[in-house]
């Protein structure tokens, strides 16, 4: 069988994967804190037809002769660029301006997120939409707002400022941010959550606006960093690449048919 046919199949599979990534990006264009994916390709090993030779007396060197055998997925990257902050004027909506992740816990394990839409439960604890507790700068959880307080606000350094029942301003717990040596090495587990991996490095939990972490912007939410114009352009490129690889297969098939028809 012709090598070009299998090269075309590999190209079709790769562009299908790229379209899957693009589709997921577009589906999450309005997901708070979502970070888009990017697909890269690399060529497969090439078949050696003839090796390279060095210059000899009276004769120059020759380059290797190789035939490529198609392409494969090189990587599917998570692009951790900053998304735009949307104003909501809600005190428990927190956006991160800069690096870092909120840390939430289910009591057994810690998870990380850029989605800052938090809520108060019956006990006054700050939780995410799945009921996981928000972790403070010192690693303590939950962060609580007393039921007797008149109001509260969260500063850029993560401090929960509470107006108590007497009308006095009291500094409460401090929201923490986790930073990683390689945030693109985190693993997506769904629900706007990430998990630490061997290549992300350990989480360093600290206060916002300190130690390389970004600052908190209360009353805002970070939007997805998906650019629709870019995604639609990549979709067109992927579609044409897929079509071109189908032409390789149909052309190879026509050549095989001519070979079969040599004997009638």
Q: Is the confidence at residue 95, as pLDDT, over 70?
A: yes
DSSP reduced 3-state for 42: strand
- In degrees and rounded to multiples of 5, residue 259 shows phi and psi of -65, -45
pLDDT tens digit sequence for 202-260: 999 999 999 899 999 999 999 999 999 999 999 999 999 999 999 999 998 888 888 88
Domain coordinates in residue numbering, the chain? 3-43+67-80+226-260, 85-222
pTM of the full structure: 0.89
> Minimal CA–CA distance to 189: which of 127, 104, 118, 120?
104
CA 197 to chain centre: 14
Q: What is the pLDDT of residue 1?
A: 58
As given in the structure block, the two tokens for residue 146 are 């007393």
Q: 3-state DSSP: the chain helix, strand, coil percent, rounded to 5? A: 25, 35, 45
The CB-based long-range contact list for 178-181 (8 Å cut-off, 24+ gap) reads 178/100, 178/101, 178/102, 178/103, 178/112, 178/203, 178/204, 178/205, 178/206, 179/99, 179/100, 179/101, 179/203, 179/204, 179/206, 179/211, 179/212, 179/213, 180/101, 180/204
pLDDT tens digit sequence for 171-206: 889 999 999 999 999 999 999 999 999 999 999 999
DSSP reduced 3-state for 203: coil
């Amino acid at each position: 069988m012709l090598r070009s046919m299998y090269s075309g199949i590999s190209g079709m599979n790769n562009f299908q994967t790229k379209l899957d990534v693009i589709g997921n990006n577009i589906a999450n264009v309005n997901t708070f804190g979502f970070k888009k994916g990017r697909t890269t390709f690399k060529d497969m090993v090439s078949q050696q037809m003839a090796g390279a030779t060095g210059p000899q007396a009276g004769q120059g060197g020759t380059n290797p002769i190789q035939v490529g055998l198609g392409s494969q997925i090189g990587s599917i990257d998570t692009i951790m660029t900053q998304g735009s902050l949307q104003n909501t004027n809600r005190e428990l909506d927190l956006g991160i301006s800069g690096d870092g992740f909120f840390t939430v816990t289910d009591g057994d394990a810690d998870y990380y997120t850029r989605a800052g839409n938090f809520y108060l439960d019956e006990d006054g604890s700050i939780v995410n939409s799945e009921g996981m507790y928000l972790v403070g700068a010192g690693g303590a959880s939950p962060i609580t707002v007393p039921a007797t307080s008149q109001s509260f606000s969260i500063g850029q350094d993560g401090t929960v400022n509470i107006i108590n029942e007497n009308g006095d301003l009291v500094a409460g717990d401090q929201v923490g941010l986790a930073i990683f040596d390689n945030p693109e090495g985190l693993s997506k587990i769904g629900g706007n959550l990430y998990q630490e991996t061997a290549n992300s490095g350990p989480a360093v939990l600290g206060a916002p606006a300190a130690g390389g972490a970004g600052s908190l912007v209360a009353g805002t939410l970070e939007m997805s960093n998906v650019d629709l114009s870019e995604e639609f352009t990549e979709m067109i490129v992927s579609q044409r690449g897929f079509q071109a690889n189908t032409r390789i297969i149909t052309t190879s098939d026509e050549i095989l048919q001519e070979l079969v028809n040599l004997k009638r």
